[in-house]
Chains A and B, each alone.
Chain A
Amino acid sequence: TQLLEQSPQFLSIQEGENLTVYCNSSSVFSSLQWYRQEPGEGPVLLVTVVTGGEVKKLKRLTFQFGDARKDSSLHITAAQPGDTGLYLCAGARIGGSEKLVFGKGTKLTVNP
């Protein structure tokens, strides 16, 4: 059983469209992080959310942490081909060590 469930697993959209990616769990996390990974490279951190209900914006990307700190979402406005990549959510469990638990990822393709 995957501790962090991401959906959708694959997403192919046209340039200019909006999209939302979800990250859900039955467990509570002290924080959730979103990473983007391109082929042949390591994940690159986009944002860390710590407080339940927190919303963070990074240009066209909006990240939200659920009130109960069990889920998170990533919304992209007016997607561009440069947004193409694998989006991973990862969390540090309450009471656990510093290791991150990752979801399987959402593979996003933005077509020009």
Chain B
Amino acid sequence: GAGVSQSPRYKVAKRGQDVALRCDPISGHVSLFWYQQALGQGPEFLTYFQNEAQLDKSGLPSDRFFAERPEGSVSTLKIQRTQQEDSAVYLCASSLTTGRHQPQHFGDGTRLSIL
């Protein structure tokens, strides 16, 4: 497809389980971002990659959150020992080049529910 693809679309896990969320950015896009969107809120920044380099991970809530983009394309966001407060929609976005004015193209997100 032409857009950003995220999988799975929905994920239900029990508290304490580990989960992995996948993002396929638009082909050739250099920058990749992860955001967390709680119900009724705007997205909040988690982390950012330029190709395979993770340049900013200041938004990751704890060391239970880990993201990687080993070959500069697909990215995975992993959450270990999930907790109920991790329930949210996780959005991935990509942009063609670097630069603060570049439009970010968002996927439809993964809705994570922790029971």
Q: How many A-B residue pairs have CB under 8 A?
A: 68
> Is the CB–CB distance between A102 and B44 below 8 Å?
yes
- Identify which of A33, A99, A105 contacts B48 (C-beta below 8 A): A99
Interface size class of A (residues with CB under 8 A): 20 to 34
Shortest CB–CB separation between residue A97 and chain B, in angstroms? 5
B98 partner residues in chain A, CB cutoff 8 A:
98
> Is the CB–CB distance between A98 and B31 below 8 Å?
yes
- Report if A98-B102 is in contact (Cβ < 8 Å); known contacts: A40-B108, A42-B91, A42-B107: yes
Interface size class of B (residues with CB under 8 A): 20 to 34
- Residues of B contacting A: mostly: loop
> Is the CB–CB distance between B42 and A99 below 8 Å?
no
B74-115 Cβ-contact flags toward A at 8 Å (1 or 0) = 000000000000000001010100111111111111000000
- Report if A30-B103 is in contact (Cβ < 8 Å); known contacts: A42-B108, A97-B55: no
A90 to B41, CA, bound (A): 13
Where the two chains meet, the residues of A that have a C-beta atom closer than 8 Å to any C-beta of B are 4, 6, 30-31, 33, 35, 40-45, 48, 50, 88, 90, 92, 96-105
